[in-house]
Amino acid sequence: MLAHRQSAMLARDAGMGLDERHVLRAERAAPLVESLHVRLRELRSTVLPKSALGEAITYTLNLWPRLKVFLTHPVVELSNNLAENSMRGVALGRRNWIHLGDKQAGPRVAAILSIAETCRRQGMPVRDYLHDVLPGMANRKRSEVETLTPTRWKTAKA
């Protein structure tokens, strides 16, 4: 996995585009991921299913399709550090928001902060995005919501 981390750093430091990252992942990460998968399947038959290791292996294998999404979608980051760092304020403020009055308040605050963080990462003013998207939101079809994400909105405005 160290080689994989080095590949990710190489891609980032070199400013590689998505196509180049995809090729790099196919060359370096895919064989490592496949060997890990084979080893986990081998180990599963040698440990007790209810042991800590057995449960960890089962958990990992059950999530395997999600784990290897980065191999087919180069836009997926290999680390969640950016997401965790951007949500640090949510984690710190959680105690303050616990009594906002409604049990749905927490998820709503998280959704709003997620939108604000996405706008920040896209380099666009949150105010402009909200000013354009929020009016008439109650009258929009559920199928339209996908087109209103900050990323899609920015692309449509370009």
Please state the φ and ψ torsions of residue 136, each to the nearest 5 degrees. Answer: 80, 5
User: What mean pLDDT is predicted for residues 41-62?
Assistant: 96
CA distance 101 to 109: 12
Q: Given a cut of 50, is residue 27 above it in pLDDT?
A: yes
User: What mean pLDDT is predicted for residues 61-84?
Assistant: 87
Q: How many CB atoms lie within 10 A of CB 74?
A: 19
User: What mean pLDDT is predicted for residues 110-128?
Assistant: 87
CA distance 6 to 12: 10
The pLDDT > 90 percentage for the chain reads 38
In which residue are the tokens 């080893």 written?
39
Burial class (CB in 10 A: 0-12, 13-18, 19+), 52: exposed
> Can you give the pLDDT at residue 65?
94
- Non-local CB neighbours of 71 within 8 Å, separated by 6+ positions: 25, 26, 29, 30, 33
pTM: 0.54
